[in-house]
């Protein structure tokens, strides 16, 4: 994935985008929407869909969030992996922290293909009510990234059943 010029903050291996998951952690599975929405005519289209998530913290410096959506048959229909880090700006130690988010996400089609995007978002953490001054770049995912994301999906589903 494209990188910003600043050095990467230290992180454990599972805090890298598309990295293997720590052993022993279990994903959380819940309905995609609250029961009151699912009971409506509009909500009935997604009745039976569930979200499966894993979130990890890196001692207050970062967060990794994996999310997959399963349809009513249990087939994964979307997947994403996001890593968000904040690190002190060495040029302005008392100022706002530098933020970086790397993501891949998209739709998993019935035929096994993936339609999605990779993002890199960087910039200083906004202070108070100021508008964020973030640089956002997107690109098409590489084949090895798609394979890695599909592997994470398979691992999350395996852990649901285990």
Low-confidence residues of the chain, pLDDT below 70? Answer: 1-15, 58-60, 88-89, 92-93, 95, 132, 162
Residue 71 pLDDT: 94
Q: Do the domain assignments include residue 7?
A: no
Residue 59 pLDDT: 64
Q: Do the domain assignments include residue 9?
A: no
Number of domains in the chain: 1
Residue 86 pLDDT: 77
Q: Determine the Cα–Cα distance for residues 151 and 162; give it in Å rounded to an integer.
A: 16
Q: Looking at the whole model, is its pTM more than 0.85?
A: no
Q: Do the domain assignments include residue 2?
A: no
Residue 107 pLDDT: 97
- Category of 103 on φ-ψ map: left (φ > 0), alpha (ψ -120 to 50) or beta: beta
Tokens 């880090």, located at residue: 85
Structural domain range at position 36: 27-161
Q: Do the domain assignments include residue 19?
A: no
Question: Within 10 A of 105 (CB to CB), how many other CB atoms are there?
Answer: 19
Residue 1 pLDDT: 37
Q: Do the domain assignments include residue 146?
A: yes
Q: For strands 76-87 and 62-70, give the pairing.
A: antiparallel
Q: Determine the Cα–Cα distance for residues 58 and 132; give it in Å rounded to an integer.
A: 23
Residue 5 pLDDT: 44
Q: Do the domain assignments include residue 154?
A: yes
pLDDT in tens, 13-32: 566 789 888 887 889 999 99
153: enclosing H helix or E strand: helix 143-161
Residue 67 pLDDT: 95
Residue 26 pLDDT: 84
Residue 157 pLDDT: 92
Q: Do the domain assignments include residue 106?
A: yes
Indicate the SS3 state at residue 93.
coil
| Count of CA atoms in the C-beta half-sphere (13 A) of 64 | 20
Q: Do the domain assignments include residue 64?
A: yes
């Amino acid at each position: 994935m494209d990188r910003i010029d600043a050095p990467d903050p230290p992180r454990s291996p599972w805090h890298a985008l598309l990295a293997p998951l720590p052993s022993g952690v279990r994903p959380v599975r819940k309905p995609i929407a609250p029961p009151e929405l699912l009971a409506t005519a509009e909500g009935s289209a997604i009745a039976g869909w569930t979200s499966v998530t894993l979130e990890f913290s890196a001692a207050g410096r970062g967060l990794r969030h994996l999310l997959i959506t399963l349809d009513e048959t249990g087939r994964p229909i979307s997947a994403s992996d996001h890593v968000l880090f904040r690190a002190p700006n060495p040029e302005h130690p008392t100022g706002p922290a530098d933020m970086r988010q790397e993501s891949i996400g998209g739709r998993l089609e019935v035929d096994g293909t993936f339609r999605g995007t990779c993002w890199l978002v960087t910039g200083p953490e906004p202070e108070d009510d100021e508008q964020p001054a973030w640089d956002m770049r997107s690109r098409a995912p590489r084949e090895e990234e798609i394979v890695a994301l599909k592997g994470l999906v398979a691992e999350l589903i395996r852990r649901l059943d285990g």
